[in-house]
Structure 1
Amino acid sequence: MRFPSLLRRAALAAAVTLGGCAAPPPAPSQLDAEMQRLMAAAHVPGLAVAIIRDGQVTQRGAYGYANVEKRQPLRTDTIMYGASLTKAAFAYMVMQLVDEGVLALDAPLPALLNKPLPDYPKYADLKDDPRWRQVTPRMLLSHTSGLLNWRFINENNQLDFKYPPGTRYVYSGEGLNILQLVVEERTGLPLQTLMQQRVFDRFGMRDSSMVWRKEWEGRETTHYAKDGAVIAHKRRGEARAAGSMDTTINDYAAFMAGVLRGEGLSPAAYREMLSPQMAIVSLQQFPSHWPGDTDLWREVGLTIGLGWPLYQSPRGPAFFKEGNDDGTNNFALGFARQRDGMVLLSNSSNAQAMFLPAVEYVYGKTCLPWFWMNYIPYDRPELMTPQARTHPVLSAGCGL
């Protein structure tokens, strides 16, 4: 049973009243103690955290182990897999190209590619579906192309449209890789070079790359599944916009601080990037191509921008990005008005269970759409069941 809409609005208003005044950040010793407490409770072997205030990184910490078996401590310069945090860095680079007139957000693919998309072997599955001609960079950046996340989700292992282009948010790594193809052809440069010049060098990200570097040997994390099973760090040799970036908490915090300052983009491009493109109506982010709508997130204004999901927090407009893979949970959150933010990188599939309490420890109630993100807290196992989708706490408009 759901709370009435009026009660949901009242709950959000109360959260805004209680959380609108920013509390001072916790002292480093307090932050250290709380992060380690949460790690132990959620069974997370390694976590790195950064806090940003007014566009500057003010705190960094690394806890636990990069490799449990070797008792190798996690450090702020440990090489960690960024997973889909890559997408946000790629989007920022794309918006620079838009700023410079190299790329038009609303140009259709036939006007941008050297040949029809199905003529590229990777996209031959679309040869009998003309809808690819309607797809634009705006749709690809905002995950509204209608393409599913990965073709292997389909039983026939073929890429297809789940919705008409421009009609629904459907998270799509395939779409970001198509935009990579566009960007590489329009610039004549490989993605690794573009990201190095326009993102990594700009923000002083000395230990970030879209492909593995040999000199990192021995500095990388080992990853751990939910049951603690060991997953080796992949040494990716191909740059992929959807997720091949290795980074460190030092580096990604520097990037996030730069994003919060709007560095490298015109005010117009920055506003466009963080402007709502489409409301998100799926109950949870994955699998977002499943049918069915909900108004559960309307109260917090959950929408998709260009590269970043957006919502209205008690602190004003907020944007975020997650990055998940086997043995990896990452999260970056920004509050645009205050230029404050937080980055969490882990080497564990369990870390997302501590992200909501970690964020709320630092910022208080944020109205983070945690259930949509599947950030179900470690101490609320009842919310992990199918019945949780109608749990009253989800309808209160502002979390636990």
Structure 2
Amino acid sequence: MNALRVWSLSVLFAAGCATAPAPRETPPIPDAAALDGEMKRAMAATGAKGLALAVIDDGRVVATRAHGWRNAQGEPLRTDTVMYGASITKTVFAYLVAQLADEARLDLDTSIERYLDRPLPDYADEDRYSTWSHLTGDSRWKAITPRILLTHSAGFANFGFLEPDGKLRIHFAPGSRYAYSGDGIILMQFVLERGLGLDVGTELQQRVFDRLGMRNTSMTWRPDFAHNLADGWTAEGGVEPHDERSKVRAAGSMDTTIDDLSRFAAALVRGEGLSPQAFAAMTAPRLPITTRSQFPTLQAELPEAARRKDLAAGLGLVVFEGPQGPAFFKGGHNESTGNTLVCVSRGRRCVLLLANDVRAEAAFPRLVRFVLGDAGVPWGWEYGPKTFWDGR
């Protein structure tokens, strides 16, 4: 996306909020006892067995808390318990790509064709990546850039294997609209590994996990995780064993802890490890989001008048303008995991929630509001029709 396009989006955001009241004062951060009490209330109301929470204020971790169980044996969930990062992995990966762009290792707005030694559909199919050969005959892949992949606008479904015939395809002109895609993130990983000769797992370990002191975080399973590992609970209350992922998948293979991931969240909201330009590339509005909800990914766009004007894609993030000013967030989810990260630029404040019980998601809006006040998070877009716990 060129500079004029980014400037135009920023102007639209400002215009959309021009008549809004001035940003509200940020409320004080609740103390540890208040956080513990609210977490316990949320778990009791939703039936969730395990929940971890971190608070960042002025770009610093000020609290990490964990309650409940890590497994069906009733062993306690702790702040150093290894949990599944799910799709927050995508944000950590986008941070890596932003660093590489900072170093001029790649250009966010150059076609991925430049970085590959042969046409994308000519690469042999591998189970680690998607099936690029399905794109044979569709030259639109040449219009795909790193920025398009990280703003979920390549035109892919979430994953090609979810298509009716199981084949990856491009549904619309790359860069023209948002449609969440794990395969788009995996293609970015492919470009780094095959095009630039990088090992994404190694790069993340050295540039992010080691640098930030994230000692219990990895893109693949480590045997030492086994002694303090979180299994998960489904919406029906069934127990799901923790998946021991053996392959680096930038779309979602990260194992981490609330202690560790809070360090990343704090570094991200204060822009550590990125130039001001790279930080803006991640957290500024890049592409309007025009759908009613995030899933299904290829749903029809809303009429102009029905769209939330302040909602847009950043790089590996969703950005919005709330009552407290500019903010961003990213969620992560599977059948037994519910995660979310919400950050407000003013005051460099964040709430990070990791739950090894997907039922806890019903309490996320209440918990985020309890810590940050009203941030304007687009929960309805993130989750679609869902009943949330209101605290009563």
TM-score of the superposition, structure 2-length normalised? 0.90
**Is 1:81 aligned with 2:84?**
yes
Give the SS at the match of 2:69: strand
Is contact 1:42-1:378 (8 Å) kept? Answer: no
Alpha-carbon distance in structure 2 between the residues aligned to 1:365 and 1:282: 23
Alpha-carbon distance in structure 2 between the residues aligned to 1:378 and 1:97: 39
Tell me the residue number matched to 1:38: 42
Is contact 1:333-1:341 (8 Å) kept? Answer: yes
Alpha-carbon distance in structure 2 between the residues aligned to 1:323 and 1:153: 18
Amino acid at match of 2:79: T
Alpha-carbon distance in structure 2 between the residues aligned to 1:141 and 1:353: 27
**Is 1:357 aligned with 2:366?**
yes
Deviates more, 1:305-314 or 1:284-293: 284-293
Structure 1 unpaired stretches of 5+: 1-8, 381-400
Deviation at 1:327, TM superposition (A): 0.1
Q: How does 1:196-235 map to 2 (within 5 A)?
A: 196-235=205-244
**Is 1:95 aligned with 2:104?**
no
Deviation at 1:320, TM superposition (A): 0.6
Is contact 1:150-1:174 (8 Å) kept? Answer: yes
Amino acid at match of 1:331: T
1:325-355 CA distance string (max 9 Å, x none): 1100000011123111110000112121110
Give the SS at the match of 1:372: helix
Alpha-carbon distance in structure 2 between the residues aligned to 1:143 and 1:305: 9
Tell me the residue number matched to 1:24: 28
Alpha-carbon distance in structure 1 between the residues aligned to 2:86 and 2:290: 24
Tell me the residue number matched to 2:122: 119
> Runs of 4+ in structure 1 displaced over 4 angstroms?
294-297
Tell me the residue number matched to 1:378: 388
Is contact 2:312-2:318 (8 Å) kept? Answer: yes
Is contact 1:279-1:303 (8 Å) kept? Answer: yes
1:153-185 CA distance string (max 9 Å, x none): 211111011211111100010010010011113
Is contact 1:329-1:352 (8 Å) kept? Answer: yes
TM-score of the superposition, structure 1-length normalised? 0.88
Give the SS at the match of 2:70: strand
Alpha-carbon distance in structure 1 between the residues aligned to 2:280 and 2:297: 26
Tell me the residue number matched to 2:274: 265
Alpha-carbon distance in structure 1 between the residues aligned to 2:389 and 2:269: 32
1:37-90 CA distance string (max 9 Å, x none): 0111111110000000001000110011101x2111100000000000000000
**How many residues were matched structurally?**
366
Q: How does 1:268-279 map to 2 (within 5 A)?
A: 268-279=277-288
Give the SS at the match of 2:98: helix
Tell me the residue number matched to 1:188: 197
**Is 1:289 aligned with 2:293?**
no
Alpha-carbon distance in structure 2 between the residues aligned to 1:253 and 1:377: 27
Tell me the residue number matched to 1:392: none
Distance of aligned partners of 1:297 and 1:254 in 2 relative to their CA distance in 1, 3 Å threshold: farther
Structure 2 unpaired stretches of 5+: 1-15, 126-130
Distance of aligned partners of 1:127 and 1:233 in 2 relative to their CA distance in 1, 3 Å threshold: same
**Is 1:298 aligned with 2:308?**
yes
Is contact 1:357-1:377 (8 Å) kept? Answer: no
Is contact 2:152-2:181 (8 Å) kept? Answer: yes
Alpha-carbon distance in structure 2 between the residues aligned to 1:242 and 1:343: 19
Tell me the residue number matched to 2:316: 307
Aligned mate of 2:333, from 306, 324, 332: 324
Identity of aligned residues (%): 42
Tell me the residue number matched to 2:75: 72
Alpha-carbon distance in structure 2 between the residues aligned to 1:53 and 1:267: 20
1:131-173 CA distance string (max 9 Å, x none): 1111110100110111111112211111011211111100010
Alpha-carbon distance in structure 1 between the residues aligned to 2:167 and 2:383: 27
Give the SS at the match of 2:61: strand
Amino acid at match of 1:342: V
